[in-house]
Every structure is written in structure tokens, then in C-alpha cells.
Amino acid sequence: MNIYIELNKIVEYIEKNLEENIDLKVISKMIGMNEYTFQRLFSLITGCSFADYVRSRRLSNAGQELYLGEEKIVDIAVKYQYNNATSFSRAFEKFHGIKPSEVRKNPEKLKLYTKLHFNEQYECNKNINYTIIEKDELILYGKYKITNNEEIGNIAPKFYEEVASKYGEAPYGLVEYQDSCRMNVKAYWVLYYNKKDDMKEFVIPKSKWIQLRVNSQEPEDIQENSRVFYEEFLPNSKYNFRDLPELEYYHDNVTDFLIPIED
């Protein structure tokens, strides 16, 4: 399966159904994934969430139609799946920077959000070695540091060293996200098997995991392994992923990058 051909089919489906209720379950089945995996893949490839993409396409079209047509604002709101004119106006102003009632006087303020198109020629031919393992429920304890996408690459290794210097080498690192699509980093955790001082508990349910091993514990090597997974493994995988955090397991001078999957 060429994932980019399949994504272009989904984009066309979305375009034909912008004025209808777009069911994420239907979309996910079209590409053979569960809803979580599809949303995660979509956000990683496009840089925006699936919901934001659909919303932006609707609001982009709504702006043009309000300027060119004679329909009432409330009719456009209903047409593009808003419950009422108030919620539509709020979303419209946030997107375009003007109220729907101001479109005719300020058409130059309207934003055009174009339809996605994926390069169907891209193929990943790299061999990526991995293992499927199963882990029982993990009850871990740790400290965390608030961070973001831009700073985590520098903050995570420094914070790990800071915590490890006080409590000893930790077996796990974990990235916490702000959103369900896991686009925006919230915090980095350093986790232990036993509670020390005021550490917070972090419970990870029993699961199967994809294990990608890095023969190193250097931050740059771990970050490169993570990049390979998200940019090359995930778009070509048929596994369905669980809405659980990914783990970095440090042991025996190696790092296992662990990604939870459904049975």
C-alpha cells in the first residue's frame, strides 16, 4: 500500500463531504487503521490535526461563499456543520480575523486554506529492524519538566542528568503531550520503579509494544531513532497503535524505543 495514494483518496472524500458529517470511523476504515493511528499519522505527515484540517477547509470555503453568494450567515453555518450562527461566527473570526458580517466590506482579509495533496511517488525502501514484545502493567514514579517541541531536544537530556544525579540512573523516559494527536509536547518525565521523595505515580497498562533498539544512550541517537519511526516506519506500517505514551527504556548501554500497539 502506498500510504500517500490512500491519503489523497481520503482528501478527495473529505472535499466531497465538507457539507456533510464526516465520520472519522469511516475515514479510518478506508485506510485500514483505527481512529487513533490514523489521526496520529495524519498529524505527523501534515503538521496539523485531522479535525483542524477539516475545519480550516470548511471555513475557507465559507468565506468565499459569503463574499460571492447571497446566502445568510446562519445558512452557511448550518451548511458547514455548525450548530448555530454564534459558534460559526466565533470560529470564522478566529480563522479569518474578521466577522462573517464584515466579509463584503473587507474581502482582502479572507484566508484561503488550500486542499492537501500528497506526493505519491515517495516510497520508503529502508529496512527497519524491530521486535514485538509484551509488558505487564507498569507502575512507575518520577519527576517531570514542562517543555515544548522546540526545547525538548535540549531540555530532556539535561533534566535526565539532573534527576539521575540525585536519585541514580532511571530506567525510563517519557514524553507527555498536550493533545490527543500528540503534536504538541507538554513535558518530559524521568521514571523509576520505586517512589523516592515526592515523585508522582505514572501507571502504564499492560500492552504489546513495537521495540526499536538503539545501541546507544546518547540523546542525538535516541532522537534520530524516534525520527525514523515517525517519518519512515509509521507511514508504512499496518499496526494499529494504542493511545498510550511511547517509552524510552534505558538498560545495558542500549535504549529501547517502545510504541504501544493493539493486539
Long-range pairs for 203-207 at CB < 8 Å and ≥24 separation? 203/137, 203/138, 203/139, 203/140, 204/135, 204/137, 204/138, 204/140, 204/244, 204/245, 204/247, 205/137, 205/244, 206/134, 206/135, 206/136, 206/137, 207/134, 207/135, 207/242, 207/244, 207/260, 207/261
Percent residues over pLDDT 90 in the chain: 60
Q: What CATH number has the domain spanning 131-261? A: 3.20.80.10
CA atoms within 13 A on the CB side of 130: 22
Residues forming CATH 3.20.80.10 domain(s) in the chain: 131-261
Q: Does domain 3-109 have CATH number 1.10.10.60?
A: yes
Q: How many CB atoms lie within 10 A of CB 73?
A: 17
Residues forming CATH 1.10.10.60 domain(s) in the chain: 3-109
Confidence bin at 130 (pLDDT 50/70/90): confident
Residue 229: which of 182, 160, 167, 180 has the closest Cα? 182
Q: pLDDT per residue over 45-82, tens digit each? A: 888 889 999 999 999 999 999 988 888 999 999 999 99
Q: Does the structure show a pLDDT above 90 at 161?
A: yes
Q: pLDDT per residue over 177-222, tens digit each? A: 887 667 788 999 999 999 999 999 999 999 999 999 999 999 888 8
